A and B are shown apart, each in its own frame.
Chain A
Amino acid sequence: MNAMTGSGAALIEIAGVAVHFPVRRSWIDAIGRAPRRVVRAVDGVDLTIGERETLGLVGESGSGKTTLARTLVRIHEPTAGSIRLRSRDLASYPRLGDDGLCRQVQMVFQDPYSSLNPRKTVAAALTEVLLFHQVCDRAGAAREVSRLLREVGLPEGVADRLPGTLSGGQRQRVGLARALAVKPAFIVLDEPVAALDVSIQAQILNLLKDLKDHAGVGMLLVAHELSVVRHMCDRVAVMYLGRIVEFGPTAAIFERAQHPYTQSLLKAVPRLIPERRHRAAVLKGDIPSPLNIPGGCRFHPRCPKAQDICRKIDPPAAVLAPGHLAACHFPG
């Protein structure tokens, strides 16, 4: 099962994970005995994330990347397969306590406006986490809060302010400080800069890079923006309709993409090149619904290279270079 194995000690091992959501039948469908329909948001994913590694997860909306990310913090439970954190099944961890899941795995959300309590000052929000998870006692909390604020580059004065008085970038820093408060082994970042302006986005990306280098924490970075992933990540997984279609070291993915979907994604990104006047679009059509995944290779209806075999046989992931895999009948 573990085809997509990385290098180094494994922090997270995802093996054959599927997350399916049944669709509620209307009573008309129930009487008519229409088949139960299932959204196959994640549909068989194998991935390994090493200690201190930053793995990027990219794909269009509807590819299942957020569902997979949320499954790693047990917001969703996998329908099939297993997720192991440091060789131990995620489901066997207690939620709380010193080795509880909440101490090990943390999440930072996209929207810094809705993920903070508007009535709690920054210090109160952070202190709550510290005390609840017994990271330190009340006496040590104030010192720990100022250490956290320093770590995420916020001035001391922010501690007594409410989220409403902070900018988007500052709030995202508070969200990060809150995740870092329990000293987790692994942080899931779901589109952490998508809601921010370019100049602020750059500040947060630099901060994330520092944390990656110094905090010794493994990260999964979910992003739709490929340049952000290239900038931040050691390895990249490209997701399409619930599957990883290509996986490898960042440089390999960006310079020698093998899967036609990855190649199309890269071509679709606008560049800062004024001469490159826009030409015909590279990829036609929308991503199909995960309610109704095409047979054979799930990318075949949009693929410029599709042949007969692609309509019939789902290609398995194949190793094309050390650590570089793609699930395609005609890679390259």
Chain B
Amino acid sequence: MDTVTVTKPTRAAAADDILVIRGLTTEFRGRRTRIRANDDIHLAVGRGTTLGIVGESGSGKSVLCRSILRLLPPSADAHVEGAVEYEGRDLRQLGEAEMRRLRGTELRMIFQNPMTSLNPLWPIGDQITEGLRVYAGLSAAAARSRGVELLGRVGIPSPEQRFDELPFQWSGGMLQRAVIAMAIAGSPKLLFADEPTTALDVTIQDQILALLLELQERMGMTLVLVSHDLAVVAETCDRIAVMYAGRIVETGPTKAIFSSPRHPYTLGLLGSIPQLATGSNRLTPIPGQPPDLARLGPGCPFAPRCSYVSPDCRTTPVRLEAVAADHRSACLHPERLAQAAA
């Protein structure tokens, strides 16, 4: 992994990067339209760290996870380009059988709605241990005792009794725990969590985030947490990538992103959030709507909503450039933000 200078990962890739993405582009082609849901994504994820991907609906965060794991449905007719190196191997070059094995063991993903990953008519315990029986070749009895242990580990009370229950008997928070148990059954090295707490109450969200971080620490797992909620990633992630219109517009250590944002979109998001601590100051929303991905111009996709815009923003293509050590922004005029802040 020493060939990074040619392309542009968001941070100089180091030897302990578990995942390096170079120039990943995912395009959906319709009869008349072409939608670039991911446009030239460069990203490196350090082993054992937590990366937060934030953005609003339609920004391409879920497509990014699915492109990496090759989970886009064939019917979507996705045209994917670029390289996704996991442990030095390009996932895009692997055969389907090997990819499936990886997704069942070391590369896992959990989704917003646990019921998308659970069969409503099948006991939860059996679903959690299916992977163990298929990939680790465990006997039914061994799988069961491991399954009970896993349920206990994710905080399900009396797991022995609840092993045979059906999904409808469990609450949303418990089902999300079950899905996490399923994901960690194969001791994954890299876990993608796509809005894992969005459908849950704050108190349950709090429990699930605490559980994910605790498991990560104990298992040395790498975590990619996708969320629309800036506060969730602020509290849980080491690094953050902000997405807009299919691109990463800013990336850096969490602290830098929140203390000195260098992309107007990030700044706009921060201004849009009502603060629990202070209350009733007026919000400064980002004007307008996110762009139609089928009709993007050549320039910065955020230009029509940007309060720091200049004429060249609409015509000049932007790329992620370093604005500080380890901190990159896809803005032609990041200095304007710094001046406004000063």
Q: A202-B272, A227-B273, A254-B276 are in contact. Are A270 and B232 (CB under 8 A)?
A: yes
From B207, B269, B271, B274, residue with most partner A Cβ within 10 Å: B274
Q: A206 to B285, Cβ gap below 8 A?
A: yes
Question: Which parts of B283-303 form the interface with A (CB within 8 Å)?
Answer: 283-287, 289-290
Among A198, A267, A278, the residue within 8 A (CB) of B235 is: A278
Let me know if B283 and A202 touch, CB within 8 A: yes
A309 interface residue per 8 A CB criterion: no
Closest to B212 in A: A278
Specify which of A198, A205, A250, A270 is in contact with B234 (CB 8 Å cutoff): A270
Please state if B234 and A271 are interface contacts (CB–CB under 8 Å).
yes
A280 at interface by CB-CB < 8 Å: yes
Question: Whole-angstrom distance between the alpha carbons of A169 and B289 in the complex?
Answer: 9
Contact A198 B273 (CB under 8 A): yes
Q: Which of B270, B272, B279 contacts A230 (CB 8 A)?
A: B279
Partner of B282, one of A209, A230, A269, A270: A209
Is residue B277 within 8 Å, beta carbon to beta carbon, of the partner chain? yes
In the assembled complex, the CB of A223 is this many whole angstroms from the nearest CB of chain B, namely: 11
Please judge, given known A-B contacts A198-B273, A205-B274, whether A254 and B279 are in contact too, CB under 8 Å: yes
* Interface of B: prevailing SS: helix
- Please state if A206 and B276 are interface contacts (CB–CB under 8 Å): no
Tell yes or no: B204 within 8 A of A by CB: yes
Measured between beta carbons, the chain A residues less than 8 angstroms from B207 are: 281, 283-284
Question: CA–CA, A173 to B274, complex, Å?
Answer: 19
Is the pair B210, A279 in contact by a Cβ cutoff of 8 Å?
Answer: yes
Residue-by-residue, is A216-228 near B (CB-CB < 8 Å gives 1, otherwise 0)? 0000000011111
* Interface residue ranges of B238-277 to A (CB < 8 Å): 254-255, 257-259, 268-277
> Known interface pairs A197-B56, A199-B286. Does A273 touch B234 (Cβ–Cβ under 8 Å)?
yes
Contact A206–B282 (Cβ < 8 Å):
yes
Among A199, A201, A226, A287, the one with the most B-chain Cβ atoms within 10 Å of its Cβ is A199
Residues of A within 8 A of B (CB): 60-61, 167, 169, 197-203, 205-206, 209, 224-228, 230-232, 250-251, 254, 264-284, 286-287
Q: Hey, which bits of chain B sit against chain A, CB under 8 A? A: 56-57, 171, 173-174, 201-207, 209-211, 213, 228-232, 234-236, 254-255, 257-259, 268-277, 279-280, 282-287, 289-290
**Which 8 pairs show the lowest CB-CB distances between chains A and B?**
A202-B285, A202-B272, A231-B274, A270-B231, A268-B206, A197-B56, A281-B207, A199-B286
